[in-house]
């Protein structure tokens, strides 16, 4: 099966892709294109999958940069790829041609950024902790340090868990309200004391408030399309031992 790569018109003509799970070598619960070295999948199979992604992005496997994601608000500036698993952060930016930035997700948001005029790109892994902590804004700041202008920056949010599938408890709501009472608009009432959180809407609002040129979500829910996407939450509900990681990549 060939790789399936979703794209955003906003990021064109910069080369990028939100890869689905289709076209990979993994089997079992990881069936498909699992690119997570931190999963319990066979490491050699994961490397094969990552090589396929690098080929699709027309870079060498060594130039596909990924980081050890820890749900932080930390963004790094790269001019060469770090050794896998050695650098902890949740976003990267670069102005180096031929360097591909890749983030891994399985419900959290993969966010790709570009200022094509300045030749600066970025990629962020934004779960609720990172988004609340400011990882999106940190990415913009690192891009500006390389000469980007946020008034020109465009961004696209890839496959992410939708509000309908993202059930949370009252303490989760309280965490967001303590930061900003206006965040209540991103929560819908669920059953009992449950709420449904609009992670994408929250992040779209933060990026628009930050003053970028444009941003969109490609409107694909990781939880609701099991044949296409990995989902941490779905794996928990299905009592599976582990789950695969999707990769989203951008390069100059």
Q: What CATH architecture does domain 5-161+219-251 belong to?
A: 4-Layer Sandwich (3.60)
Name the pairing type of β-strands 154-157 and 109-115: antiparallel
pLDDT in tens, 127-144: 999 999 999 999 999 999
CA nearest neighbour of 154 among 112, 206, 217: 112
pTM above 0.95, yes or no: yes
Find the mean pLDDT for residues 16-21.
98
Q: What is the pLDDT of residue 85?
A: 80
% of the chain beyond a pLDDT of 90: 98
Asked if the model's pLDDT at residue 212 lies above 90, the reply is yes
Q: Could you state, in order of their start, the residue ranges of all structural domains in the chain?
A: 5-161+219-251
- Report the chain's mean pLDDT, rounded to a whole number: 97
pLDDT in tens, 47-104: 999 999 999 999 999 999 999 999 999 999 999 999 888 899 999 999 999 999 999 9
Find the mean pLDDT for residues 10-18.
97
Alpha-carbon distances of 92 from 24, 98, 139, 141, rounded to whole Å: 25, 15, 7, 11
């Amino acid at each position: 099966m060939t790789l399936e790569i979703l794209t955003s018109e906003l990021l064109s003509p910069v080369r990028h892709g939100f890869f689905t799970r289709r076209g990979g070598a993994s089997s079992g619960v990881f069936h498909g294109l699992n690119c997570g070295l931190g999963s319990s999948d066979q490491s050699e199979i994961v490397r094969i999958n990552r090589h396929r992604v690098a080929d699709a992005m027309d870079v060498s496997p060594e130039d596909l940069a990924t980081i050890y994601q820890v749900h932080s608000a930390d963004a790094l500036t790269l001019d060469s790829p770090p050794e896998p698993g050695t650098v902890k952060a949740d976003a990267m930016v670069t102005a180096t041609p031929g360097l591909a930035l890749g983030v891994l997700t399985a419900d959290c948001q993969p966010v790709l950024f570009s200022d094509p005029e300045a030749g600066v790109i970025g990629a962020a892994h934004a779960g609720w902790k990172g988004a609340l902590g400011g990882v999106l804004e940190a990415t913009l700041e690192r891009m500006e340090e390389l000469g980007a202008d946020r008034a020109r920056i465009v961004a696209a949010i890839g496959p992410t868990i939708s509000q309908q599938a993202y059930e949370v408890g009252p303490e989760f709501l309280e965490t967001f309200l303590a930061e900003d009472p206006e965040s209540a608009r991103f929560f819908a009432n669920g059953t009992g004391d449950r709420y449904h959180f609009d992670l994408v809407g929250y992040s779209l609002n933060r990026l628009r408030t930050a003053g970028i040129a444009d941003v969109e979500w490609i409107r694909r829910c990781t939880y609701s399309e099991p044949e296409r996407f990995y989902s941490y939450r779905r794996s928990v509900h299905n009592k599976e031992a582990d789950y695969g990681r999707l990769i989203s990549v951008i390069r100059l």
